[in-house]
Amino acid sequence: MQGRLLVTNGEISFGEHSEHPQIIDLVHEALMEGWKDFVEWREKYRELLGLRDRLEDTLRVWNANGRKDEDLMMRGLLARVIENWQDLQSELDVMAQEFYRRSDDYEREQASAQKNLRDNLLEIQAKLEELSRQQAEIENQKADFQVALQRFEKRIGNSQRAAQWLKENQAILVETATEAALNKDSSLTQLGGPANSLDKNQRFRWDIEEYIDWLCSCLELGAIIPLEETDLIPTLRASAYAEAFDFIKRERIAKDLPEGVAEELKGIFSYLINYFSAVPSE
């Protein structure tokens, strides 16, 4: 310094504690340009002191405003202090160091709270999306149910109209079906045949009538009542009944009936035909 190579910002104090930090610099910048390491150290130290000054300015504001959390170091400044803490710590007094730790703790708490909030929001969003998906699924199921209900109501209507048609035409159906079955198989009525007597012939007609009554009950109910659960017992062999009901299905179901009504009638008669066709011949 006596040779004017170095300068200081004030009187040098060699005491253990100095009121003002002493800064020593070269009087001529050109003297240090070749000292690369020294130049880098000097620039880093200047940045470090600038960072310290900013921290202490923030500390003074925090103290002046009643030490409120919102006046603690935040984000950018705090991030730089954390990055340079190893070098900066020795430049700070106890209060500044405590201010840093409190700022760091508060920032961590805020980050944790924000993370929890984001997680909660994501969970709520996921639940809302799931509820939306379930609602859409319910709406789809509701639409499918409405379609199925309409089909069911239409079929029930067709079944009831089919039952009404059977009741209105029962007498002619019984007569013509019985005659067709007996004419189809002459062995039923020939001498010694199972329908040779007038009594058995009449009972066969009654059987056909009772089966048609059973058909009407099934159509009105909208479901098949298993024949095994009824007290219907055929008088003649099963093939005679299969032929009688096949005749009605082929020849007597009115061609001018609505398609749905005709389909219900054909379906229920097919059930009877299949039932009697499956019975072993005697």
Convert the pLDDT of each residue in 50-71 to its tens digit: 999 999 999 999 999 999 999 9
Q: Is residue 44 part of a domain?
A: no
Distance between CA 7 and CA 110 in Å, rounded?
A: 46
Q: Is residue 256 part of a domain?
A: yes
Which domain range does residue 255 map to?
A: 169-277
Amino acid identity, residue 176? T
Q: Is residue 269 part of a domain?
A: yes
Q: Which range, of 101-105, 252-256, 258-262, averages the lowest pLDDT?
A: 252-256
| C-alpha distances out from residue 192 to 74, 88, 196, 242, Å | 114, 126, 6, 22
Q: Is residue 99 part of a domain?
A: no
Which pTM was predicted? 0.53
CB atoms within 10 A of CB 234: 14
Q: Is residue 35 part of a domain?
A: no
Q: Is residue 64 part of a domain?
A: no
Beta bridge partners of 6: 26
Distance between CA 166 and CA 213 in Å, rounded?
A: 9
Q: By the 8 A CB rule, do 108 and 79 touch?
A: no
The structural domain count of the chain equals 1
Q: Is residue 188 part of a domain?
A: yes
What is the average pLDDT value for the chain, to the nearest integer? 84
Q: Is residue 36 part of a domain?
A: no
Convert the pLDDT of each residue in 77-91 to its tens digit: 999 999 999 989 998
Distance between CA 157 and CA 168 in Å, rounded?
A: 17
pLDDT over 90 (residue 20): no
Q: What is the pLDDT of residue 16?
A: 52
Convert the pLDDT of each residue in 177-200 to its tens digit: 999 998 887 676 554 555 556 677
| Confidence grade of residue 217 (pLDDT, cut at 50, 70, 90) | very high
| CATH number of the domain that residue 203 is part of | 1.10.490.20
Q: What is the pLDDT of residue 64?
A: 95
Convert the pLDDT of each residue in 145-168 to its tens digit: 999 989 889 999 999 999 999 999
Q: What is the pLDDT of residue 203?
A: 87
Copy the structure tokens of residue 98.
């405590």
Mapping DSSP onto H, E and C, the string for the chain reads CCCCCEEECCCCCCCCCCCCCCCEEECCHHHHCCCHHHHHHHHHHHHHHHHHHHHHHHHHHHHHCCCCHHHCCCHHHHHHHHHCHHHHHHHCCHHHHHHHHHHHHHHHHHHHHHHHHHHHHHHHHHHHHHHHHHHHHHHHHHHHHHHHHHHHHHHHHHHHHHHHHHHHCHHHHHHHHHHHHHHHCHHHCCCCCCCCCHHHHHHHHHHHHHHHHHHHHHHHHCCCCCHHHCCCCCCCCHHHHHHHHHHHHHHHCCCCCCHHHHHHHHHHHHHHHHHHHCCCCC
Q: What is the pLDDT of residue 191?
A: 44
